[in-house]
Amino acid sequence: MTESLERRARRVPMGDVARLAGVSTQTVSRVSNGHPSVLPETRDRVFAAMAELGYRPNAAARALRSGEFRAIGIVLFTLSTTGNVRTVEAIANWASAEDYAITLVPVRSRSREDVLAAIRRLGELAVDAVVLLLSAHLLDDAAIHIPPDVHVVIVDSDAGDDFTVVDTDQAAGAHAAVEHLLSLGHATVHHLAGPESSYAAERRAAEWRAALESAGRRVPDVVRGDWTAASGYAAGAALAPDATCTAVFAANDEMAAGLLRAFADAGRRVPEDVSVVGFDDIDLAEQLQPPLTTVHQDFGEVGRRCVAAALAQVRSGARSGGVDLVPTRLVIRASTGPAPA
C-alpha cells in the first residue's frame, strides 16, 4: 500500500508571504480578509506571493484570535437510522451555506459513562455550538450537566425548558396516521413501536395510544421493534395470525417494510386484509410492494431550524429555551385501504 514518499512541505506562515511581497504581516492579513483599504497593486503582489508559497491561513490561530471556529458540532449515537442521517445531512448543508463546517462526535454506546464522556468532550471541541441528536432520557440524568457557556440545540428530545429543542412534530404525525386508519373503518390500530430508548418512538407510541383512547377504541398491546426491517419482519410474523389485526401503524418505514414482507409470507394481503402505515417517508417507501402509506418528515426543515437556532445563540451569546416543532405530512399510497368487511 505504500510506495513513494514526498517530504512534507512546511506550513507557510504569514510572515513568509509578507517578506516575499515586501509588506507587513498586517497587510497580508488585510488582503487575506478582503479589507478594502489595500492598494490593488499591493493586493496583487500579496496574492502572487501567497500563490507562490502556497500560503493558507491557519485555522487555529484565527480561531484563537477571533474566538470563533465557524463549526457546529453534532453529537449522536449512530448514522444507521434514516432520521439521523437525513438530519445530519440537512444540518451540514444549511451550515455550509452559512460557511460553517460540521464536526461529528459519535457516542460509542448508550451507557451513562460514554454519554458523559461525550458531553465533557463537547466543551473542548473546536466548535461554536452543538446539536445533540440524542434522546431525552439521557439528559434527564441529573449527573449529566451541560456547561452553561455551551450553545446547545437538542433534537429528538423534550428538554425545552432549559434548552432550544427542534424536532419533527411526532405527536401530530402519529395522530394523522391513526386517524387515517380509523377513517378507513378499521376498528382499531395496532402499533409496531421503536425501541424504548428512543424519545421519538415513545412520543409516537404515546400519541397512537391517545388517539385510540380519545376515539373510544380498544388499545391493543404494543409490539416492539428496534427500527430495523428484520425486527419488523419478526413483529409481522407475530401479528399475522391475529385476525383482529387489520391495521398496523409502524413507527418507521424500515420496520413497515419488514411487516409487508411478513404479511406477504403469511398470506395476508396488503391492503385488502391488513393496512400498514409507516413513518419517515424514506426514498424506498414508494418502491415497496405495495407502495407504503407513511408520515413524511421534513428533515431538511429540521436541519434548517437547528442551524438557525444554533447560530442565533452564537450571535446573541445567549441560550434560549423553547420547542420548535416541524409539521409532518401524511402520504397516502397503496398500503392502506378500507377495513375488510
CB-count burial class (<10 Å; 0-12, 13-18, 19+) for 206: middle
Taking CB under 7 A as the rule, does residue 80 contact DNA? Answer: no
As measured in angstroms, the least distance from the Cβ of 165 to a second copy is 9
37 binds, among DNA, a second copy, none (CB under 5 to 8 A by kind): DNA
Contacts of residue 212, Cβ cutoff 8 Å, sequence gap at least 6: 178, 188, 189, 218, 219
**What does the alpha-carbon distance between residue 19 and residue 194 come to, in Å, rounded to a whole number?**
63
Give how many residues touch DNA by CB under 7 A: 28
As measured in angstroms, the least distance from the Cβ of 320 to DNA is 24
Burial string for 158-182 (b: 16+ CB within 10 Å, else e) reads bbbeebbbbbbbbbbbbbbbbebbb
As measured in angstroms, the least distance from the Cβ of 128 to a second copy is 11
As measured in angstroms, the least distance from the Cβ of 272 to a second copy is 16
As measured in angstroms, the least distance from the Cβ of 148 to a second copy is 5
| Partners of residue 131 on adjacent β-strands | 74, 153
List the one residue from 4, 7, 34, 66 that touches DNA (CB under 7 A): 66
Taking CB under 7 A as the rule, does residue 19 contact DNA? Answer: no
Residue among 179 and 226 whose Cβ is closer to a second copy: 226
Contact 37, 30 (CB under 8 A): yes
Cell reading at 65 = 484570535
Q: What residues between 266 and 305 interact with DNA by CB under 7 A?
A: none
CB-count burial class (<10 Å; 0-12, 13-18, 19+) for 312: middle
C-beta neighbour count of 50 within 10 angstroms? 21
Contacts of residue 311, Cβ cutoff 8 Å, sequence gap at least 6: 98, 100, 129
Q: What residues between 20 and 59 interact with DNA by CB under 7 A?
A: 22-27, 29-30, 32-33, 36-39, 41-42, 55, 57-58
206 binds, among a second copy, DNA, none (CB under 5 to 8 A by kind): none
Residue among 70 and 137 whose Cβ is closer to DNA: 70
Residue among 58 and 96 whose Cβ is closer to DNA: 58
89 binds, among a second copy, DNA, none (CB under 5 to 8 A by kind): a second copy
Contact 94, 87 (CB under 8 A): no
Q: Which runs of consecutive H residues, i.e. helices, occur in 226-284? A: 229-239, 253-265
214 binds, among a second copy, DNA, none (CB under 5 to 8 A by kind): none
As measured in angstroms, the least distance from the Cβ of 57 to DNA is 4
- Report the interface residues with DNA, using CB under 7 A: 11, 13-15, 22-27, 29-30, 32-33, 36-39, 41-42, 55, 57-58, 61-62, 64-66
